[in-house]
Amino acid sequence: MSNTLGFHALTGGAVRYRIYASAGLGAGDVARIVGLAGLGVGLGFAVVITGTLCWQPALGHGWGRLPGALLLVLLAALLLWLRRRPRTLRLWRWTLVFPAAGTAALQMLLGGVEMLAAIGALVVLLPLGVAPPFVDFVPVYVGAVLVGMASHSPGGLGVFETIMLAAFPAAARADLLAALLCYRLTYGLLPFALAGVALGAFELRERRRRRAVCRSGP
């Protein structure tokens, strides 16, 4: 829902709070969950970019391995830092407990797999004569996603497409635009529709539960 509507912290946080509050979790617990989920997404971005730069895409013109190696060292240092003892971050009244090193490594793995799957979902829609090598396409896609998220437009609509089109030659933009439209339908609107149905089923179940509690009395 948040990926499609934009304003991830507001839309995603509101849906999470609505669902988790029914299980007895408070605002602090939901904030911790949102923070850890965001950490997993960020680690996934970092892993994919690190692997791409170390692989040396043509976009880097020969300098990509240096920042890739630096990012690899930073990720390794993060895991070593998390091994020492439970790490916490206090924000006003809330305390965010960082995951252990093993959990953070698993977040890196799952986040990287999820990001590669998202990129692959668009790559397979591109005609063979238009699709660039996968390792060259990754930085373009990740950059477009990050700028789209920063813009807070619904699903990065318009921003994502503009950056993607600018990265391709003019002769390939018509095919790319058709692929982007199919990508939006299959990777954006379809999951959004399924999420809406799931949220509606949740609300219906909650109403029936509250009705049953009211009928049974105190």
Residue 57 pLDDT: 60
- Residue appearing with tokens 């090193």: 101
Question: To 10 degrees, what angle do helices 101-123 and 134-151 make?
Answer: 100
Report the pLDDT averaged over residues 150-173: 84
Residue 172, pLDDT above cutoff 70: yes
Report the pLDDT averaged over residues 95-118: 87
CA gap 71, 75 in Å, rounded:
6
Is the pTM value of this prediction over 0.85? no
CA gap 157, 148 in Å, rounded:
7
How would residue 159 be classed by pLDDT, with cut points 50, 70 and 90?
confident
Residue 29 pLDDT: 82
Residue 171 pLDDT: 85
Residue 217 pLDDT: 65
pLDDT tens figures, 12-53: 888 888 889 888 888 878 877 887 888 888 888 899 988 888
- Residue appearing with tokens 């109403």: 207
Q: Where are the alpha helices (DSSP H) in the chain?
A: 2-5, 8-21, 27-55, 65-84, 101-123, 134-151, 159-166, 173-183, 190-216
DSSP assignment letter at 96: E
DSSP assignment letter at 166: H
Residue 53 pLDDT: 83
Q: Where are the alpha helices (DSSP H) in 85-189?
A: 101-123, 134-151, 159-166, 173-183
Express as a percent the part of the chain with pLDDT over 70. 94
**CA angle (112 as vertex; 133, 149 as ends), nearest 5:** 85
Residue 195 pLDDT: 92
Give Cβ neighbours of residue 42 (< 8 Å, ≥ 6 apart).
Answer: 111
Residue 110 pLDDT: 92
- Token pair for 187: 């990777």
Q: Round the average pLDDT of the chain to a whole number and report it.
A: 84
**CA angle (141 as vertex; 42, 158 as ends), nearest 5:** 105
